Structure 1
Amino acid sequence: MNDMQDISNKLDRIEQLAIISSKTVLDLSEAAVFTGYSESHIYNLTSRKAIPHYKKNRKLFFKKSELEDWLLERQVKTDKEIESKAATYVSTHKK
């Protein structure tokens, strides 16, 4: 019986992701699924104004494109990118 519940849960998740992929504006629960954070964490981020969001009639909404930008705002550079930037800096700042 547990296998059937697992399959049902997976199908529900697939359906939810399919719906989210076709939308440009998400509600709180959809934003949580999209980002992988819990609803309470997303709500906490909104109360601290740490995540881009909108309010209408006390309900929270999120632009999917802004969530993507927010998720990717702090890129960790690779060693190769850092070395390249350092080499460029050294070559342009030689005395």
Structure 2
Amino acid sequence: MENAKLILEKLDYLEELILNNKKQILSVADLEKYTGFKKSSIYQLVHYNKIPYSKPNGKQLFFQKSEIDDWLTKNKSLSNDQIQENALKYALRKKV
């Protein structure tokens, strides 16, 4: 019986993931699940205009998934290999 309950919980979780993955517009609750950020952190980011959002009715917040993806991958750090590759390209370009 315990196994059946665990299986049902996992199926519910997977169903929610699939449905959320298809959404292009996210609510605060959806964004919490999508990013793992706490609700208070999301509201703080909105308050300081650090995250792209919409407020069409003046109250409820919505987030466009593609904009959130762009925002999440902004300011990424390069690996040492990428830095060395860029430095080599730069050095070779200067010699010509």
Query: By how many angstroms is 1:12 displaced?
Result: 4.0
Query: By how many angstroms is 1:80 displaced?
Result: 1.3
Q: Deviations over 1:35-63 (max 9, x none)?
A: 11011111110111000100022100000
Which residue of structure 2 lines up, in the alignment, with residue 50 of structure 1? 50
Does residue 1:28 correspond to 2:28, yes or no? yes
Q: Give the length in aligned residue pairs.
A: 94
Query: By how many angstroms is 1:67 displaced?
Result: 0.8
**If each structure's strand is expressed as a fraction of its own residues, which one has the higher value?**
1
Which residue of structure 2 lines up, in the alignment, with residue 17 of structure 1? 17
Stretch of structure 1 that moved more, 34-43 or 14-23: 14-23
Gaps of 5+ in 2: none
Query: By how many angstroms is 1:88 displaced?
Result: 1.9
Q: CA RMSD in A?
A: 2.2
Query: By how many angstroms is 1:94 displaced?
Result: 4.1
Please list, as runs of the form range in 1=range in 2, the aligned pairs for 1:62-73 lying within 5 A after superposition: 62-73=63-74
Q: Report the identity percentage.
A: 34
Which amino acid in structure 2 is aligned with residue 55 of structure 1? K
3-state SS, counterpart of residue 44 of structure 2: helix
3-state SS, counterpart of residue 90 of structure 1: helix
3-state SS, counterpart of residue 29 of structure 2: helix
Gaps of 5+ in 1: none
Stretch of structure 1 that moved more, 47-56 or 80-89: 80-89
What is the TM-score of this pair, normalised by structure 2?
0.81
Query: By how many angstroms is 1:13 displaced?
Result: 3.1
Query: By how many angstroms is 1:11 displaced?
Result: 4.2
Query: By how many angstroms is 1:15 displaced?
Result: 2.9
Which amino acid in structure 1 is aligned with residue 15 of structure 2? E
Which residue of structure 2 lines up, in the alignment, with residue 88 of structure 1? 89
